[in-house]
């Protein structure tokens, strides 16, 4: 009872006084690393874009594949993970009455493990000993230090996941019979996926390390690819779940509305957690040695993610329409005029949502076995990836940064920075539409991904890609300008903006909302269901790959 009182007091104090300095420091550190990563990762992306357009020949010491590996690591591994963790830890602190002292310690240990791991991984990349790209598919082999670095990154992620679980479990113990606050519900889902999703890649890395050292001669390529995509596919949806957490929880408040349905929101989180890991084979859909029935299951599970996505689309449009009509919006689409287009905290995530319409459509199409053959390993896939991660997810992160950074820094979003944010959003949108559009189109024309610029001995088809690749370079240049504007805005808001109080803009439920049933809180059951599906999807093919293993492969250095 004493503990409960003390916890309620902390909860109230946290809401009244804002985030504690200790908790704020954690989020600021994670966000700083994330935005430094986008600065360097963006620059490397520009170099690649210029190279692919045939405008810039990269020097030998910074060849295309080295730059591509570093670009992928910085943006896929560092930016997304550090932003996600900083963002959710701020939310855990806000909604659960502050982080527990031991959880803070775990957050810092996790932070330094991830930084240490990243430094270990990046050294061989810079030395040219690990140009294996962020998917590090065997039989391409990097220097062992690269994989040891990855081990520390995964251990850091686990530390943070368990920190979040401890904080949530403690809150549940002190608030029996209550729902986990919605934002922490999202955080729980994300950290469950981060932990269980990173288990396969941890096994893969522990399998690769002795091979990279030469202690074992060969590796089973299919097993390692399968373990990677069990993680990779989950990671994609972790980004998505993080982005929609902002759409469901914060956007309604920013536009002056209420959350649409708490039950639907929680069902979407649960569905994404349960169905997520089992879609890995749609990334290996033309790989040999996987039975059609297993591929069918994975494609089915990948497409099943479309259902919570469409539920999200409905929920978002419903919130927008209801709020806009309350403000006097009229007509079939005329009510859109009542949305706060001049507020970057809305504009950036809204464009992110809009981008998810073609991005999701592309994803659905390329998951289909036959249709995948039209786009497989082509630049289409790179365009898809930039539309989903670079636009849907990252623009949501940008939008969030305009209130999260001032919130944790005890400062305010000024009208000047809001205007800068609007300009940044437009620049980023135009840049990404040009770049991603060009990538999609040349992909359909046959341009391969993961290759530096080549005319293939002046082959007519390859030469026909050039005019479109020029748009890729223009888009990449605009994106670099967007990166500079965004990084400036973030660090200005963190260190130089006027001091003041910024709200953590959590939307409330509607007054007449139906109470959410308590079964949504049965996390043990959701995890058991998730593991059951994972077993159904992976046990048979993995046993098949191991029992009927083809000859293993020695390591290759292809660069």
Partner 1 sequence: MAESNVKQNEEVVEESSTIKGTIFSVAVVGGVILVTYLLIYGLYMTRI
Comparing CB distances to partner 1, the nearer of 371 and 528 is: 371
* 413 to 402, 421, 498: CA distances (angstroms): 7, 10, 8
Q: Least distance to partner 1 from the beta carbon of 260, Å?
A: 10
Q: Least distance to partner 1 from the beta carbon of 197, Å?
A: 26
Comparing CB distances to partner 1, the nearer of 371 and 518 is: 371
Comparing CB distances to partner 1, the nearer of 370 and 558 is: 370
Comparing CB distances to partner 1, the nearer of 265 and 520 is: 265
Binding site for partner 1 (CB under 8 A): 310, 313-314, 317-318, 320-322, 324-326, 330-333, 335-336, 357-358, 360-362, 364-366, 370-371, 373-375, 444
Q: Least distance to partner 1 from the beta carbon of 327, Å?
A: 10
Tokens representing residue 73 in the block: 């690591």
Burial of 496 (0-12, 13-18, 19+ CB in 10 A): exposed
Burial of 322 (0-12, 13-18, 19+ CB in 10 A): middle
Alpha-carbon distance of 425 to 399, in angstroms, equals: 9
Q: Least distance to partner 1 from the beta carbon of 364, Å?
A: 6
Using the CB atoms, write b or e for 408-439: b if 16+ within 10 Å. bbebbbbeebbebbbebbebbbebbbbbbbbb
Give first-to-last CA distance, the chain, whole Å: 64
Q: Least distance to partner 1 from the beta carbon of 306, Å?
A: 8
Q: Least distance to partner 1 from the beta carbon of 52, Å?
A: 22
Q: Least distance to partner 1 from the beta carbon of 371, Å?
A: 5
Comparing CB distances to partner 1, the nearer of 60 and 333 is: 333
Angle between helices 344-366 and 394-409 (to 10 degrees): 150
Tokens representing residue 392 in the block: 């849907």
Comparing CB distances to partner 1, the nearer of 358 and 399 is: 358
SS3 300: helix
Query: What is the CA 337 to chain-centroid distance, rounded?
Result: 30
Query: Which residues lie across from 448 on neighbouring strands?
Result: 378
Comparing CB distances to partner 1, the nearer of 335 and 453 is: 335
Nearest to 429 by CA among 350, 493, 484: 350
């Amino acid at each position: 009872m004493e503990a409960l009182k003390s916890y309620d007091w902390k909860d109230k104090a946290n809401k009244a006084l804002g985030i504690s300095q200790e908790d704020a420091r954690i989020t600021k550190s994670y966000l700083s690393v994330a935005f430094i990563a986008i600065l360097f990762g963006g620059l490397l992306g520009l170099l690649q874009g210029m190279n692919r357009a045939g405008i810039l020949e990269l020097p030998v010491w910074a060849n295309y594949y080295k730059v591509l590996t570093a670009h992928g690591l910085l943006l896929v591994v560092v930016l997304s993970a550090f932003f996600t963790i900083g963002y959710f830890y701020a939310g855990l602190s806000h909604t659960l009455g502050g982080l527990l002292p031991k959880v803070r310690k775990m957050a810092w240990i996790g932070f330094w493990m991830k930084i240490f791991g990243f430094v270990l991984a990046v050294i061989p990349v810079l030395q040219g000993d690990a140009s294996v790209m962020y998917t590090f598919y065997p039989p391409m082999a990097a220097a062992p230090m690269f994989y040891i670095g990855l081990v520390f990154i995964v251990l850091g992620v686990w530390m943070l996941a368990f920190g979040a679980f401890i904080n949530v479990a403690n809150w549940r113990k002190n608030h029996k019979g209550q729902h986990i606050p919605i934002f922490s519900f999202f955080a729980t889902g994300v950290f469950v996926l981060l932990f269980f999703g990173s288990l396969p890649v941890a096994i893969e890395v522990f399998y690769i390390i002795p091979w990279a050292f030469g202690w074992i001669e060969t590796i089973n390529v299919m097993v390692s690819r399968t373990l990677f995509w069990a993680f990779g596919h989950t990671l994609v949806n972790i980004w998505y779940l993080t982005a929609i957490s902002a759409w469901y929880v914060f956007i309604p408040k920013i536009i002056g509305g209420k959350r649409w349905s708490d039950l639907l929101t929680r069902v979407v989180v649960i569905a994404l957690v349960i169905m997520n890991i089992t879609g890995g084979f749609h990334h290996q859909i033309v790989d040999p040695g996987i039975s059609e029935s297993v591929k069918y299951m994975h494609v089915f599970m990948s497409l099943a993610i479309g259902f919570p996505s469409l539920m999200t689309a409905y929920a978002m449009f419903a919130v927008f329409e209801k709020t806009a009509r309350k403000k006097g919006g009229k007509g079939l689409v005329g009510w859109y005029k009542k949305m706060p287009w001049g507020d970057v905290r809305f504009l950036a995530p809204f464009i992110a949502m809009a981008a998810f319409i073609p991005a999701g459509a592309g994803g659905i199409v390329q998951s289909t076995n036959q249709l995948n053959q039209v786009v497989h390993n082509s630049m289409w896939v790179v365009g898809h990836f930039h539309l989903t991660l670079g636009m849907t997810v990252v623009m949501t992160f940008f939008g969030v940064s305009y209130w999260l950074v001032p919130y944790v820094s005890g400062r305010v979003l000024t009208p000047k920075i809001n205007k800068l944010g609007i300009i940044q959003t437009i620049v980023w949108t135009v840049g990404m539409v040009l770049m991603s559009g060009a990538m999609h189109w040349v992909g359909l024309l046959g341009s391969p991904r993961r290759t530096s610029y080549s005319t293939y001995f002046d082959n007519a088809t390859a030469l026909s890609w050039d005019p479109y690749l020029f748009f890729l370079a223009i888009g990449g240049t605009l994106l670099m300008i967007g990166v500079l504007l965004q990084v400036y805005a973030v660090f200005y808001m963190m260190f130089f903006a006027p001091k003041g109080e910024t709200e953590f803009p959590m939307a409330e439920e509607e007054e007449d909302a139906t109470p959410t049933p308590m079964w949504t809180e049965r996390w043990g059951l959701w995890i058991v269901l998730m593991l059951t599906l994972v077993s159904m999807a992976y046990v048979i093919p993995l046993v098949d790959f191991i029992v009927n293993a083809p000859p293993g492969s020695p390591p290759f250095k292809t660069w």
